[in-house]
Amino acid sequence: MDLLDLLKLVVRRWYVAVPVVILTLAAAVALGSSIQPEYKTTATVILVPPTTSVSTPANGATPAPGNPWLRIGETQMAQAVQIAASSGEARQKVVAAGGDSAYEITLVTRSSIMSVEISSETSAKALATVEAVTKLISDEVKARQAEYKPKAGEEISTQVLDPGLNVTPSRSNVLRAQIVVLAVGLLLMAAAVVAYDAIARRRLTKQVNARAGIRGNATAGSAAVEQRRPQPPLAKQVGPVNRPVAGRDADVEADEPADATQIIRINSTPVTANGHAASGSPQQVSADFVRAPETDDTILLTAVRTPRPDDDQQ
């Protein structure tokens, strides 16, 4: 299932997706109201090279020991100070000074400028943090050079370009929390829609199978009943049918068995071809209707031609 299929499924099952979305929005709003905004500020510190240059030793003379950081350079020293001031021990010192450990030190590319970004719960704590971090950077620069005992004017110093006193509230933390809640809510909505659709399809399949089974059982039952139902026997012709009209009743009563079938004489009057009675007509029709006693309606109609005396003479 791709994203387009999922969107179609959400639209089709909107009655499941809409309540989850409403609950997610309500949770995001409630969370945003309960979280306090952060207070942020930014300070900038630069490492300044020494004001005097190191004297070049005379020819053949051994150079006097000096400050190796001057040869390393201010940019590399700024990188070293950044690592030291971001360590866990340095953060503990900032917290002990009344600040917050949530700060980050970054370097401006190819320069010895360090930017300190601070986030705190309150404005006062943000100010205390920026002061503690700038002091920590200055102390770190002095401590790195102190063991070499540089002369006056032969050491790298720090200068605060922006003290970071402009503290502003920020709701970025609130937005982050709300985005997380919305993302979780969307995932729950998708899972709920997919689960409900699967359950609904399964129920529908069971209902269709159940109905098909009922219809199949009914068809099989009716077929079995039709097979078990006794078929009516064919009607049997009893007695001579092609006989003279005169004396027919006496002959039939003498020839037919008593318990075989019941013969009903409808009409034995000679008729013409169009159905009208006519005496001495050359065409005579005798109709015998036979019904078996064990059947409902089985009628046998037999039409014969009665021979005439003239036929024998011819």
pLDDT digits (tens, 9 = 90+) for 208-261: 888 877 766 666 656 555 566 555 555 444 444 444 444 444 444 444 444 444
Question: Between β-strands 168-170 and 38-48, what pairing exists: parallel, antiparallel or unpaired?
Answer: antiparallel
> Residue 170 has what pLDDT?
81
> Residue 184 has what pLDDT?
92
pTM of the model: 0.51
The parts of the chain modelled with pLDDT lower than 70 are: 1, 53-65, 215-314
d(C-alpha 187, C-alpha 185), whole Å: 5
> Residue 57 has what pLDDT?
56
> Residue 213 has what pLDDT?
76
